[in-house]
Amino acid sequence: MSANPAAQTSRAPSAAFILKKSLISALVALVLFSLMIGVRTEAGPDGQLTYWTRFGDLAVMVAAVFGGSILIELFRQWWGPVDTARVVPAPVQNALAFGGRLVAPVLLVFTFLVPVLFYNERYILDLAILVLTYVMLGWGLNVVVGLAGLLDLGYVAFYAVGAYSYALLATNFGLSFWICLPLAGILAAFWGVLLGFPVLRLRGDYLAIVTLAFGEIIRLVLINWQSLTGGPNGVTGIPRPTLFGIPLTPADDGLAAMLGIEFSPTHRIVFLFYIILALALLTNWVTIRLRRLPIGRAWEALREDEVACRALGINTTTTKLTAFATGAMFGGLAGAFFATRQGFISPESFTFHESALVLAIVVLGGMGSQLGVALAALAMIGGFELFRGLDQYRMLVFGMAMVLLMIWRPRGLIGHRAPTVFLQRKEAISSDLVKEGHG
C-alpha cells in the first residue's frame, strides 16, 4: 500500500482539495434543503395551504454542512486511512483486557445497588427500569439474531403478545401477575413457532421483511380488533404485581402496613426494578446455559453456515424454531412486565420503531456478546433520554446516530463474535474473518 504513490498523495489532500469537496457538499445541501427547509407549508384555518420562506434557516443549514465537511476532511487527514492497523502498546492492551474482565461484575454489583444509591431519585429509577427492559429485550433478540443468525425485524410482535396476554388475562379473568408471567411467555413462544414455520425456508433479507410484515400484522390486528383489545384506546387498569399475594399499596393489607413501615410509592418502583432485573438475569443465564447445550451449538453453527449445518445432520427446522420460540418467550416475558409497569398499554407502544431499536441494540452490542448488548442498551436508551428535551429532534438524532455508528463500527461496539467452542486450544478469531451464515 505505502509503495503506491497514488495512495501517498491521496493521503494528504491539499487545502484546495478540501475546499472543493466542501463546496460541492454545500452545493448539494443547498439543492436538497432548498425546498424542504427553505419553504415551509402549513394548512391554514380554512384548509387552504399556505407557505412562507425560511431562507435564514436554509443558510444556516448549508453553512453547517460546509463547515462540517471541512472538519470531517481534516479529521480524515489526521486519522489516516480507515483500514490502518493501529498498534496498541502491550501494557495498555493488558490493562484493557484486565479492565474488560472487570466490567461485567462491576456493572452487575452496581445494578444491584441502583435502588439503594438512587432511592430518592424517581427519575433515575424509572430510567433504570426502562434500560433493564431493553437489556432483556436485547438479550432475548440476541438468541434469534446474535446466536442463530436469523434477522428478525418484527420482534416487537412478541413483546406485544406478552403485554396483551397479561393485560387481557388480568383484566378479564383476574389472574395475578405471577400466574400470567409464564403464560405470557408460553403464548409468545407459541406465536414465535407460528411465525417460525412459514419462514423456515427463507433467509437473510426475505426473512427480515416477513418478520417486519408479521410485526405490522400483529399491530394492525391489535388496533382493529376493538372488541378484544380496545383498539387504539388500549387496555387500562392493568393490575400491579404483588409480593407473594401482598399488594404494595397503602391499604391495611399492603406490604408497608404489614412490615409496620410508612408507605411510599417508591417501594413499588424498587420492587419492579428487582423484578425486571431478575427477569433480565434469567434471560442472560438461560442464554449462557443454552449456548453450552447442543441446541446452542447448533444455533451458532446455523449462523455460520446453514448448508454445512445441514450436511452435518443438524435438523435446521427444529434449530430455527427453538431459536424463534426462545427469543419470543423472553420478548413475551418482557412484554408482560411492560404491561404491569405501565398499567396501560396501547398498540402505539408496539411500532416498528421498537423492533428497530432492539435490533440496533443487538447489532451495536456485537451480535452475540451478552455484555455488549447490555452496554449498547445502556448507551442507546441513556442517549435517547439525554435528547428528551429536544422532543421532535430526538428521532432525527437517533436515526443519524444509527447510521453513523454503523459506518464507524459495522460490527458493533464489541465486535468480537467468537464461537463458544474451539478446536484444541483457545484462539481469538478476528471478527472480519467470520462471515454471515447465508450459505
Partner 1 sequence: MDYFAQQLINGLVLGSIYGLIAIGYTMVYGIVGMINFAHGDIFMIGGFIALITFLILVSFGLTAIPLILLIVLLVSMAITALYGWTVERIAYRPLRHSFRLAPMLSAIGMSFVLTNYSQVAQGARVKPVPPIITGGYTLHEGAEGFNVQLSNIQIIVVLTTVVLLALFTWLVSSTRLGRDMRACEQDQTMASLLGVDVDRTISMTFVIGAALAAVAGMMYLLYYGLVDFFMGFVAGIKAFTAAVLGGIGSLPGAMLGGLLIGLIETLWSAYFSVEYKDVAAFSILIVVLIFLPTGLLGRPEVEKV
Is 159 in contact with 338 (CB distance < 8 Å)?
Answer: yes
Of 324 and 337, the one with the shorter C-beta distance to partner 1 is: 324
Q: How far is the CB of 333 from partner 1 (least distance, A)?
A: 25
Regarding 205 and contact with partner 1 (CB under 8 A), the answer is yes
Of 176 and 233, the one with the shorter C-beta distance to partner 1 is: 233
Region binding partner 1 by CB under 8 A among candidate stretches 37-45, 174-182, 272-280, 285-293: 37-45
Region binding partner 1 by CB under 8 A among candidate stretches 268-276, 333-341, 353-361, 370-378: 353-361
The residues facing 43 across adjacent strands are 49
Of 151 and 180, the one with the shorter C-beta distance to partner 1 is: 151
Would you list the DSSP string of 244-265? TTB--SSSTTSHHHHHT----H
Q: How far is the CB of 221 from partner 1 (least distance, A)?
A: 7
Regarding 34 and contact with partner 1 (CB under 8 A), the answer is yes
Regarding 418 and contact with partner 1 (CB under 8 A), the answer is no
Of 259 and 395, the one with the shorter C-beta distance to partner 1 is: 395
Pick from 51, 110, 112, 178: which binds partner 1 (CB under 8 A)?
Answer: 51
Is 139 in contact with 284 (CB distance < 8 Å)?
Answer: yes
The site map against partner 1 for 147-176 (x = CB under 8 A) is: ----x-------------------------
Pick from 79, 285, 344, 393: which binds partner 1 (CB under 8 A)?
Answer: 393
Within 10 A of 364 (CB to CB), how many other CB atoms are there? 26
Per-residue cell: 242: 404483588
Pick from 68, 204, 250, 419: which binds partner 1 (CB under 8 A)?
Answer: 204
Question: DSSP label at 231?
Answer: G
The residues facing 53 across adjacent strands are 39
Regarding 23 and contact with partner 1 (CB under 8 A), the answer is no
Is 341 in contact with 209 (CB distance < 8 Å)?
Answer: no
Q: Which helix (H) or strand (E) holds 41?
A: strand 39-43
Residues 81-140 binding partner 1 (CB under 8 A) are none
Per-residue cell: 5: 504513490
CA 370 – CA 146 distance, rounded (Å):
9
Residues 300-339 binding partner 1 (CB under 8 A) are 305, 307-308
Residues 61-80 binding partner 1 (CB under 8 A) are none
Of 150 and 187, the one with the shorter C-beta distance to partner 1 is: 150
Helix H segments across 292-426? 294-304, 306-311, 316-342, 352-364, 370-386, 393-408
Pick from 41, 120, 227, 424: which binds partner 1 (CB under 8 A)?
Answer: 41
Of 240 and 409, the one with the shorter C-beta distance to partner 1 is: 409
Return contacts of 362-365, CB within 8 angstroms, 24+ apart: 362/138, 362/141, 362/142, 362/145, 362/146, 363/145, 363/406, 363/412, 364/405, 364/409, 364/412, 364/413, 365/138, 365/142, 365/146, 365/412, 365/413, 365/414
Site size for partner 1 (CB under 8 A): 64
Q: How far is the CB of 296 from partner 1 (least distance, A)?
A: 21
Regarding 209 and contact with partner 1 (CB under 8 A), the answer is yes
Residues 235-274 binding partner 1 (CB under 8 A) are none
Largest CA distance in the chain: 83
Region binding partner 1 by CB under 8 A among candidate stretches 43-51, 164-172, 249-257, 323-331: 43-51
Of 15 and 220, the one with the shorter C-beta distance to partner 1 is: 220
**Cα 255 from chain centroid (whole Å):** 35
Taking the chain, what is the end-to-end CA distance rounded to the nearest angstrom? 32
Is 132 in contact with 277 (CB distance < 8 Å)?
Answer: yes
Regarding 24 and contact with partner 1 (CB under 8 A), the answer is no
CA 135 – CA 367 distance, rounded (Å):
13
Can you give the binding site for partner 1, defined by CB under 8 A? Answer: 28, 31-32, 34-37, 39-43, 47-49, 51, 151, 198-199, 201-202, 204-206, 208-210, 212-214, 216-217, 220-221, 223-224, 305, 307-308, 352-353, 356, 359-360, 363, 367, 392-393, 395-396, 398-403, 406-407, 410-411, 435-436, 438-439
